Each structure stands twice: as structure tokens, then as C-alpha cells.
Amino acid sequence: MDTRDYIESGIIEQYVLGLTSVEETADVENMAIEHVEVKQAIYDFEIMVEQQANENVIHPPAFIKTNIEGALSNKFSAINSKQIPHYKNEGAIIRNLSSLKYIAAAAIILLLFSTGLNFYFYSAFKNTNTKYEALFNERNTLQANNASYRTQIDEMNQSFSVIQDSNMVNITMKGTKGREDNIATVFWNSQTKDVYLISNKLFKTPEGKQYQLWAIVDGKPVNAGMVAYDCNGVCKMSKKIDHAQAFAITLEKQGGSAAPTMEQMYVIGKVS
């Protein structure tokens, strides 16, 4: 896998979001050392995550501030209402109690402030992480669809190439009596002897059945191959045919038959 494919595989996003395994993390960090493009991709995605986090800031709810103020007010009231016993070194004790009072107040402030920050950062992280997981999944779906479209385009280009070949003989096979709605087309290369089929309109085969193509050679049927279930475009058949006077398709048991079932012939066409 080259550097560009590695970057576009999604591993960079998973690494930044902390979704990679130990092995994957080590691999990404090694790639970043060896390839400046990978290091830059990591940096760019980190910046984007930070920007998105800033744009989607979740402010702590107002009740946190109210709780802090209420807790401080109650603590000061409780400390001030305590009875301080009289001792000989009363001044030192009062100073110590005063210091403890402020230390306790500071500790409460830090605790409540820490709770508020934890709530804030957790909410922000959860929101951002959820958003990027959704984007990551959407990106993977788009890549899968794009790969599927590429495959379809390649198949179409190959089909056009076959059809436009000057060596191709076009044989239209029309439906037999009672099956007039069926139609299929054979493209037979007179030079290479390869046979191609377009199943323009053939009824879906029942379970356990499969269409079989036959070439009529000197008045006898010759097996030209089974019609694949996924034959949606121009499909190359498995058999070469040297010469033929006609082609036909019958419905046979799955895997084919040694001889055609004549009453199950669906289409037939003469070679002109």
C-alpha cells in the first residue's frame, strides 16, 4: 500500500481519535517517522478536530455555578457558627482556625470546579467523538460505493469494447412459442471463437435450475456453457465455438445437462 492509499484508508482518523489498537498505533507512528505526508496528515486532522471542538463548545450548565456558590455559602456559615473554645494561646488557635477555614474553602472550590470541568470536557469530547465517528462511517460508505461504481463502469467499458469489435457476429435469440417475452443476444467472435452473452430479458430461474447456452453445429446441439446467475452485462461463456448455424438457451438442472431439454427451450436465434 502506497502512502496516499495508507492515508486514505481511515487509519489516520482512527489514530487521532484514539480508536487504534496498540499494533496499529505503533504502525502509524512509524509511518509518520518515515513519511512526512503521514505526519502532515496526522497534524492536519488534529487541527481539524480542535477547530471543530471549538466550534461546538458546550458550556457548563448554569446550575454548576449555583451549586458552587451555595456550597461555599453553607460551608462558611457552618464554620462561622461553630463554638470556638477558649485557650490560653487563644490568638494562635484563632489564627489556625482561620487558616483552616480558607484551606477548606479553597479545597471545596477546587473540588466543585474540577467537577464542572470534568462535566464540560466529557460532554465536549463525547459530542465531538460521536460526530467524527459518524463522519468516519459515512466516509467508508462513500468509498465502498465509489469502488462499486468503478467496478460497474469497468464492466460497462468492457462490454462496449466487446460489442464494438468488428469481428463480432451478433445473434439475437427470440422467445419460443409461449415464451415470447424472453430475449437474449449472443456475440460470437469469428476470429477468436469466443462467445459472449447478454441476457436481455430472461425470466428468473427457479431454485435448483440454471440456463444453459447451446450452439447448433451441423444440426446437433453443442454445450456452449452455463449462464451465470450474476450475468447482468456482457458475460463471456466458458466454451469456444468454432462454427455454428444457430444458438439457443434451455432451462436445465443446476450445473447443466449433457443434452438440451427441448421442451424447456426459452430462446433461439439463427446465425446470419
Each residue of 172-191: pLDDT tens digit? 999 999 999 999 999 999 89
pTM given for the model: 0.45
Contact criterion met (CB below 8 Å) for 228 and 254: no
The CATH topology of domain 168-270 is: Immunoglobulin-like (2.60.40)
The 10s digit of each residue's pLDDT in 149-159 is 566 555 555 65
**16 vs 60, more confident:** 16
- At residue 127 the predicted structure's pLDDT band, cuts being 50, 70 and 90, is low
H helices of 164-238, in order, are none
Please name which of 115, 128, 129 lies closest in space to residue 57, comparing C-alpha atoms.
128
DSSP string, 59-104: PPPHHHHHHHHHHHHHHHHHHHHS-----TTHHHHHHHHHHHHHHH
What is the spatial distance between Cα 188 and Cα 162, in angstroms, rounded to a whole number? 10
pLDDT recorded at residue 137: 75
Amino acid at 243: H
Q: Which pLDDT does position 220 carry in this prediction?
A: 94
Output the pLDDT for position 8: 81
